[in-house]
């Protein structure tokens, strides 16, 4: 399919990126080199697990060629930031990034006694040789996980969400606002802080309701439940439905929806709800009869690609992702530090008709809601014996200028309620 013509206000600029590659079956290593090739950043992985009580350390190596430093130093920082626009907006003097948390350290010349190397760093140092310098960061447990708000198809190049960045740079001082750092003296990689499903899963929730209708002295009973509280992204979710229709009315159909609620806490306190799945089942339950049945639903991001403002797990380059995982908060954690919080619920509704010629016109709903936790399973550990290094690839990064992105994304994100 031919590419659509680009409007004149689209900016095209080269941005060095790295293709993940290497020998078949090998464990990929992520590498980014500065424009002047004086420094290179190596990471053995880009997903770091939040275990609620602790977070995986960020351990990597920076390869330094002192010949081009000209008396300057090499630094590295890890930053957690809330982005609500494109980096290209900086060219017109606008900042659409808010740093939530930043840590910096000097890499070269070596000034501090560093902790013992991790097995990952030992493996990376074998590749870098004497020019390799390890670094280790510890991420605070109260920081948010990586999450983004899905842009509309026409919003290519825009971003909104929480991400983490590891950046190596050459400068005289670690953070001097008067010192201009050239892009050719920097290299960076975006990483993700992700929560994975815990080992133990509790029993699933249940909700029930009895509703009376006019001209009827008996109710319709509805009960909905799921077998466990947590499901993995992409897994079928069996929803158990029990109906006891004691009235003379007719239940015409059953509708099941899965709804995502996104709470943005940094720049304002808003909640936005978005339906990620709707399925209707033509089950007729006549008066004074019952039904007990299990319906299976699978909420998927692939069925919601066009929905602006949908929360998704943090994205790396153009890799596929999934619906944002449920935010897990430990007791005592500052909710305001989470940036974006995500939750889910399953809604089961019955369309109850009064029967007769006007039955469809006088239908009403009976509904319940049960909470749902959606998460990813913990991935396999990195195999340090099969590390292979990626090849450099120069690509064109296309972005568009846009203002007020995050508000625009969220304003179209469905139901909105102020707290």
The Cα-based distances of 223 to 138, 188, 335, 346, 353 in angstroms read: 46, 52, 32, 12, 19
Cβ proximity of 46 and 191 under 8 Å: yes
Residue 159 confidence class, pLDDT cut points 50, 70, 90: low
pLDDT band at 293 (very low <50, low <70, confident <90, very high): very high
Least confident of 6-15, 136-145, 234-243: 6-15
Q: What is the pLDDT of residues 353-378, one digit of tens each?
A: 865 544 444 457 899 999 999 988 87
Among 87-96, 124-133, 134-143, 226-235, whose mean pLDDT is lowest?
87-96
Per-residue pLDDT for 404 more than 90?
no
Is pLDDT of 403 > 80?
no
What dihedral do alpha carbons 305, 309, 310, 312 form, nearest 10°? 90
Instruction: Determine the pLDDT at residue 129.
Output: 85
- In this prediction, residue 265 has a pLDDT band, given cuts at 50, 70 and 90, of confident
Residue 129 backbone dihedrals phi, psi, to 5 degrees:
70, -150
Choose the weakest-confidence range: 49-63, 116-130, 315-329. 315-329
How much is the pLDDT for 85? 58
pLDDT confidence band for 43 (50 / 70 / 90): very high
What pLDDT shows up at residue 331?
72
Its sign, for the CA torsion 201, 378, 17, 105, is positive
Residue 108, pLDDT score: 92
pLDDT band at 70 (very low <50, low <70, confident <90, very high): confident
| Residue 383 confidence class, pLDDT cut points 50, 70, 90 | low
Q: Would you list the DSSP string of 307-348?
A: -TT-EEE---TT----BPPPP---TT--GGGGSEEEEEEEEE
Rg of the chain in Å (alpha carbons): 26
Which residue's entry shows tokens 């016109």? 361
- The pTM score is 0.74
Q: Residue 391 above 90 pLDDT?
A: no
| pLDDT classification of 6: cutoffs 50, 70, 90 | very low
Averaged pLDDT score across all residues of the chain: 78
Q: How confident is the model at residue 100 (pLDDT cuts 50, 70, 90)?
A: confident
**Largest pairwise CA distance in the chain:** 89
User: What confidence category does residue 215 fall into, taking pLDDT thresholds of 50, 70 and 90?
Assistant: confident
Q: Is the pLDDT of residue 285 over 60?
A: yes
In the three-class reduction of DSSP (H, G, I as helix; E, B as strand; rest coil), residue 124 is classed as helix
Q: Please compute the mean of the pLDDT values over residues 192-200 and round it to a whole number.
A: 80
Domains of the chain: 10-196+383-418 (2.60.40.840), 206-375 (2.60.40.640)
pLDDT at 393: 34
Give the confidence band of 346 by pLDDT, cuts at 50, 70, 90.
Answer: very high
> What mean pLDDT do residues 136-152 have?
86
Q: Is 22 left (phi over 0), alpha (psi -120 to 50) or beta?
A: left
> Do the Cβ atoms of 166 and 43 come closer than 8 Å?
yes
Residue 273: the pLDDT is: 92
Q: Which range, of 69-73, 156-160, 408-412, averages the lowest pLDDT?
A: 408-412
Would you state the pLDDT for residue 402? Answer: 33
């Amino acid at each position: 399919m031919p590419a659509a013509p680009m409007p004149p206000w689209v900016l095209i600029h080269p941005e060095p990126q790295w293709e993940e590659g290497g020998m078949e079956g090998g464990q990929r290593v992520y590498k980014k080199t500065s424009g002047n090739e004086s420094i290179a950043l190596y990471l053995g992985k880009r997903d770091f697990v939040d275990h609620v009580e602790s977070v995986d350390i960020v351990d990597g190596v920076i390869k330094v060629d002192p010949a081009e430093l000209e008396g300057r130093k090499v630094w590295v920082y890890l930053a957690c930031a809330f982005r609500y626009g494109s980096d290209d907006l900086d060219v017109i003097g606008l900042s659409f990034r808010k740093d939530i948390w930043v840590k910096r350290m000097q890499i070269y010349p070596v000034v501090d006694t560093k902790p013992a190397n991790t097995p990952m760093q030992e493996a990376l140092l074998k590749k870098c040789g004497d020019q390799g310098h390890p670094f280790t960061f510890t991420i605070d447990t109260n920081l948010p996980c990586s999450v983004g708000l899905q842009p509309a198809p026409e919003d290519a190049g825009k971003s909104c969400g929480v991400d983490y960045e590891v950046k190596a740079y050459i400068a005289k001082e670690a953070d001097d606002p008067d010192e201009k750092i050239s892009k050719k003296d920097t290299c960076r990689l975006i990483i993700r802080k992700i929560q994975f499903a815990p080992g133990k899963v509790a029993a699933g929730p249940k909700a029930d309701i009895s509703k009376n209708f006019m001209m009827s002295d008996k109710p319709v009973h509805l009960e909905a439940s799921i077998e466990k509280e947590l499901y993995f992204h992409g897994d079928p979710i069996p929803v158990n439905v029990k109906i006891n229709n004691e009235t003379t009315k007719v239940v015409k159909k059953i509708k099941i929806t899965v709804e995502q609620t996104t709470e943005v806490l940094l720049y304002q306190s808003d909640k936005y709800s978005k339906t990620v799945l709707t399925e209707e089942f033509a089950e007729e339950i006549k008066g004074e009869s019952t039904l007990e049945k299990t319906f299976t639903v699978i909420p998927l991001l692939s069925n919601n690609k066009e929905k602006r403002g949908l929360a998704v797990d943090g994205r790396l380059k153009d890799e596929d992702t999934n619906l944002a995982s449920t935010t897990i908060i430990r007791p005592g954690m500052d909710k305001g530090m989470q940036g974006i919080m995500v939750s889910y619920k399953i809604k089961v509704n019955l369309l109850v008709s009064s029967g007769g010629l006007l039955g469809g016109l006088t239908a009403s709903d009976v509904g319940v809601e049960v909470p749902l936790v959606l998460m990813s399973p913990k991935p396999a550990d990195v195999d340090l014996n099969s590390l292979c290094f990626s090849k450099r690839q120069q690509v064109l990064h296309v972005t568009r200028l846009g203002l007020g992105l995050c508000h625009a994304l969220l304003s179209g994100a469905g139901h909105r309620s102020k707290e």
